[in-house]
Structure 1
Amino acid sequence: MDPFQHMHEWKNNLDQFFGGNFWDDFEHIIKPPIPAVNIYELDNELVVYVNLPGIKDRKQVKVFVDSNVLELKGSLFPVQTSGKLIKQEILQGDFSRQIDLPFPVRQDRINASLKQGMMTIHLHRLIQEQKKKNAIEIDEFEE
């Protein structure tokens, strides 16, 4: 049972009425992104805390980093699956989330740990060597 099923239908109707993806800018208000994250920036480091309730095994979640994008994939499990669901506020199910980072990070210095449903990811800023200025040759055109 998807508690947001009626909301998805309503969103699709608004998109059809207004054209395009009208509701995309407001979707985070209706359905918060999962998993929830906090990101802290230190001098040349980012520390990302990821709330993963019910995740006990690190194999249940995948973490990918590409330059300045962090991607999280996995599945949050229901608290209890038996009985009739009366109210659902704890988000569950498959998730895939991409998070833009404030700067590119090194691929060789990424550490992640999982403890009691909280993942901590340490990322380090990619500091590129200062590049030399390249002089651009200007073509001369005859009039």
Structure 2
Amino acid sequence: MPMDPFQNMQDWRKNMDRFFGENFWGEFEGIIKPPIPHINLYKSDNEILCYVNIPGLEDIDKVDVYVDYAILEIKGVISLQPQHHQLVQEEILQGSFERKIDLPYPVRGDKIHASYQNGLLIIQLHRLIHQETSKNRIKIHSIED
């Protein structure tokens, strides 16, 4: 009976989980496969700007942006496959994505602006002074060149 080479890997991983803790592999997931889309997050005393790299987006309604208190959630798909061509080299990560970003402070659900231009989704958020929670889908505006 042939031995399953992946069984040893599973056993090794379980032992590593026991030794380092169950979140050990989660720590490396972002290094092995970086999360998409890439983001830059900027803050001032009362405003947060989130730049989200989503190349090739043709339909802005195919990206969902939600804000709930101090979490920004972005869902969608990055797809750059041209017709009648075969992928030879891939450095721009593609595929379905779902990211939850912890914000540096709670933000207002009623004062949010999102726009898409030149491959960047720019989300402007404002600090929440009093507490409220409601997860709302944010409308994205297309800015023509």
**Shorter-chain TM-score category?**
0.7 to 0.9
Evaluate the alpha carbon distance shift between residue 69 and residue 117 of structure 1 in structure 2; reply closer, same or farther with a 3 A threshold.
same
Q: What SS is found at the alignment partner of 2:112?
A: strand
Distance apart, 1:53 and its partner CA:
0.6
Instruction: Give the match for residue 89 of structure 1.
Output: 91
Report whether the alignment pairs 1:50 with 2:52. yes
Which is higher, the Rg of structure 1 or of structure 2?
1
* Partner AA of 1:91 in structure 2: L
Residue of structure 2 aligned with 1:100, choices 102, 118, 121:
102
Instruction: Give the match for residue 126 of structure 2.
Output: 124
Instruction: Give the match for residue 16 of structure 1.
Output: 14
Q: Aligned equivalents of 1:21 and 1:77: distance in 2?
A: 30
Question: Which segments of 5 or more consecutive residues in structure 1 lack a partner in the other structure?
Answer: 1-8, 130-143
Report whether the alignment pairs 1:110 with 2:108. no
Instruction: Give the match for residue 78 of structure 1.
Output: 80
Question: Which segments of 5 or more consecutive residues in structure 2 lack a partner in the other structure?
Answer: 1-5, 132-145
Residue of structure 1 aligned with 2:27, choices 25, 39, 55:
25
* Partner AA of 2:116 in structure 1: L
Q: Aligned equivalents of 2:47 and 2:125: distance in 1?
A: 6
Could you state the TM-score of these two structures normalised by the residue count of structure 1?
0.74
Distance apart, 1:81 and its partner CA:
5.5
Q: Aligned equivalents of 2:128 and 2:65: distance in 1?
A: 18
Distance apart, 1:21 and its partner CA:
3.9
Evaluate the alpha carbon distance shift between residue 72 and residue 15 of structure 1 in structure 2; reply closer, same or farther with a 3 A threshold.
farther
Could you state the TM-score of these two structures normalised by the residue count of structure 2?
0.73
Report sequence identity in percent.
Answer: 48
* Partner AA of 2:34 in structure 1: P
Q: Aligned equivalents of 1:85 and 1:104: distance in 2?
A: 42
Q: Aligned equivalents of 1:53 and 1:36: distance in 2?
A: 10
Q: Aligned equivalents of 2:119 and 2:89: distance in 1?
A: 23
Q: What SS is found at the alignment partner of 1:109?
A: coil
Aligned residues: 119
Q: Aligned equivalents of 1:128 and 1:21: distance in 2?
A: 34
Q: Aligned equivalents of 2:101 and 2:112: distance in 1?
A: 16
